[in-house]
Amino acid sequence: MNIILDLLGASLIGGTVMYLIMNLNIYTTNTKYVSDSELHLQQNAKTLAELLNHDLRKIGYKTSGNAIISAEPKSIAFYSDIDSNGVVDVVKYMLSDSTDVSSTGNPSDKVLWRIINGDSSKGPSLGITDLQFTYRNSSGAETTALDSIKFIKAEFWVESPELVDDDYLFTYWEMTINPRNL
């Protein structure tokens, strides 16, 4: 009888330990997935920020006259020698609609179009879901007059391409740029 009780007790303890080890493994895997997704999200946001920062700082580079062609809340177009080859380029940024991205599970992600001299080859989505430009004059007041724009505030929202714990992770990035050539 003691042997049976010992075997039952050992089985119960062994089963409990096995259950705890399996739960720890599942928790560790989920934590790693969420952490990797957050890191990937931050890297995508940083890539988009570097691209916008580089190009918006070059507005008016090696051009004369008014460098900004159009300044809308969701798009901007400007003149700049963006690739430093001595030829003034027309650069336009705009956001596509969500139907342009079918390779991810996120129904809200879009493509940030960077059009240079009419070349509209689209880039990757990188999870961007919204983009907003605000334009300010030299005193900091919002303006829509193209010749008085001195500061450009760019805000964008980035979401994970796939669900993480039944939700899309998101991040927000904001930057205000004062192009030297304006």
The pLDDT of residue 98 is 82
**Residue 129 falls inside a structural domain:** yes
Range of the domain at 145: 37-177
Confidence check: pLDDT of 23 > 80: yes
Tens digits of per-residue pLDDT, 131-141? 999 999 999 99
If one counts the domains in the chain, the total is: 1
The pLDDT of residue 99 is 82
**Residue 5 falls inside a structural domain:** no
The pLDDT of residue 123 is 66
**Residue 97 falls inside a structural domain:** yes
**Residue 137 falls inside a structural domain:** yes
Tally of CB atoms within 10 A around 80: 23
Q: pTM of this prediction?
A: 0.83
**Residue 157 falls inside a structural domain:** yes
Percent of the chain with pLDDT over 70: 98
Q: Please name the amino acid found at residue 79.
A: Y
Nearest to 75 by CA among 98, 57, 47, 56: 56
Contact call for residues 148 and 159 (beta carbons, < 8 A) = no
**Residue 25 falls inside a structural domain:** no
CA distance 89 to 176: 23
